[in-house]
Amino acid sequence: MILTDSQIREEMKRGTIVVEPFDPASLGSNSYDVHLGRTLAVYRDEVLDARVHNQVDYLEIPDDGLILLPHRFYLGVTEEYTETHRHVPFLEGKSSIGRLGIDIHATAGKGDIGFCNTWTLEISVKLPVRVYAGMPIGQLIYFEVAGDVATLYRAKANAKYATRTDKPVESMMWKNFLPKEK
């Protein structure tokens, strides 16, 4: 079941959902709008390797916007820091963003219970498009779950994206190739 606006507010009062900063105008009937942060990242190399730590360069979006180009992959970040302790958060693009030809995630639209961080966006565009820091970029939808969670995401030893940041985080797939501790 998807939480409604009143249920999201109630869970925020309980502390099971945290959104910072919170703007009541961003609360929809059954979702919360998140906004594009000022920092984007692009990979340095044209060919990425899943076994190595691929490095990124950071770009700051100027006040007059930044033009994103097709055939270039960008990592963005939400302005909002979120915590979800009892629900499964899903990040979806807003329809207005999709109608500009902007995709905000390639595969990672679902968060885990216990995820506490900003959201890294996997941005690609169909046409050149100018984007601005602070523009609505996506919406969080919260799903109820059945049963208890044995281990929250932030408590997992192998949680690769648990360090709080205000910048996009590059792929940490390379950590899956490290020797397992015994």
pTM over 0.85: yes
Q: Output the pLDDT for position 25.
A: 97
Q: Is the peptide bond before 70 cis (omega within 30 degrees of 0)?
A: no
| Cβ proximity of 31 and 140 under 8 Å | yes
The catalytic residue among 80, 122, 144, 170 is 122
14-51: pLDDT as tens digits: 999 999 999 999 999 999 999 999 999 999 999 999 99
Sorted by where each starts, the structural domains of the chain and their CATH numbers stand as: 5-43+54-170 (2.70.40.10)
112-143: pLDDT as tens digits: 999 999 999 999 999 999 999 999 999 999 99
Whole-number Å distance between alpha carbons of 79 and 141: 17
- Catalytic, 79? Answer no
Amino acid identity of residue 109, one-letter, is G
- Name the CA dihedral angle for 147, 150, 176, 125, rounded to a multiple of 10 degrees: 40
- Name the CA dihedral angle for 46, 49, 54, 60, rounded to a multiple of 10 degrees: 40
77-104: pLDDT as tens digits: 999 999 999 999 999 999 999 999 999 9
